[in-house]
Amino acid sequence: MGVCVQWGRHHLRTGWGMTSNDPCLRPDCGANTYARGLCENCYQAARRLVAQKHTTWEILERQGKARATGRNAAKNWLLTPSKKKEKRRENPWNAKHAADPTLTSAATRAATTVLHPQLQQLAAVASGVLGGMTQKDHTKAETAAFVDVHHWEIRNYVSLLKHHGSAYRAQVCAAFVKASLFFGREAVEPLAVRWKDLLWTSVGDPIRALYLRLNAADEDNARHKLGNDQRYALTVAAIRAALSGKEISKVQETAQDFGDSDLDERILRSLEKDRRRQA
C-alpha cells in the first residue's frame, strides 16, 4: 500500500482537512468535523488564536478542545514546493451568484464560509430582527434561514434607507423590516420612502424626529453616542408613533418591541379597517 494512501487513511481517521459525520468538539456547535475534531469555522478560529500566540495546539489538545493530528506528515506535505503553480480557487458561492449575491439557500450557505459583502449586509439586518429589543443571541443558521425567507424584504428596506448613510444602521433597517412583517409592507414602506426622499408630512412627523435624532447622535461633538440597541428602540418608537398618527418633536426610546404593546393591536385594527374601506 502506497505512502499517500496510508497518509490519506490516517487523516481520514484523525479528521485532518476533511469533513466527517462526527460533530464538532464545541458543545453548542453541532457542525461536522473538519480538522482536529473541530468544524471548519471553529478550526479557523482556533488556528488564528494559535497564530496570534494566544494559545497553542498542545494546550487546546490538553483541554480537550482539539485533537492531535499527524502533524509531521501534514507539515512536510504543506511545505513541499509544488511543481506547478496552482490556480487560485474562487469561492463557488460568489462565482455562482455574482450577478445577484443576495440570493441564498441552504445549499449555497453550506458552500461558503466568507459571505459576499452584500449578503453580509442582509445578514446584519436579519440578525437585528432576530435579536429584537434585547439583542438576544441566535445562531448563524437562524440568521441564514431568515435571509432565505425574507431577503427581498430586507433588500427593499436597505435600498430605501441607505440613501442617507449618516443615520443608517443595520438595527434601524431591522426595525423597519420587523414592522413591515408585523403591520404589512403597504403600511410601513411609505415611512421608509419619507426617509429616502426627506419629505415629511409635517414638522411633527415621527420619522423626521427619528432621522434628526440619529444624525445628531453621529456628530463629532455629540454628548451621547447611541448603541445599536438604542437605535433599534428609537426606530421602533418612531414607526409606532407614525402608524398611530401621532406627531412628536422628539422620539423617545421604547422598551416594547412590535407585538408587545397594546397600541400595536389598535394599529393593526385601524389598518385592517382602512384596507376594508379601500376594498
Domain boundaries, the chain: 3-79, 109-278
Q: What is the pLDDT of residue 211?
A: 92
- C-alpha to C-alpha distance for 1 and 51, rounded to whole angstroms: 36
pLDDT of residue 27: 85
Output the CA angle 19-25-29, nearest 5 degrees: 85
Distance of CA 138 to the CA centre of its chain: 10
pLDDT at 79: 64
Residue 12 pLDDT:
41
Confidence at residue 50, expressed as pLDDT on a 0 to 100 scale: 84
Residue 194: per-residue pLDDT? 93
Residue 181, judged by CB atoms within 10 A of its CB (0-12, 13-18, 19+), counts as middle
Choose among 90, 101, 47: nearest CA to 69. Answer: 47
pLDDT of residue 74: 58
Residue 23 bridge partners (DSSP)? 32
Query: Torsions phi, psi of 77, nearest 5?
Result: -70, -40
Tens digit of each residue's pLDDT, the chain (279 residues): 444 444 444 444 444 444 567 888 888 888 888 888 888 888 888 888 888 888 888 888 888 888 877 555 555 556 666 655 544 444 443 444 444 444 444 434 433 444 456 678 889 999 999 998 877 788 888 888 998 899 899 999 999 998 766 778 899 999 999 999 999 999 999 999 999 999 999 999 999 999 999 888 876 565 677 888 899 999 999 999 999 999 999 999 999 999 999 999 999 999 999 888 887
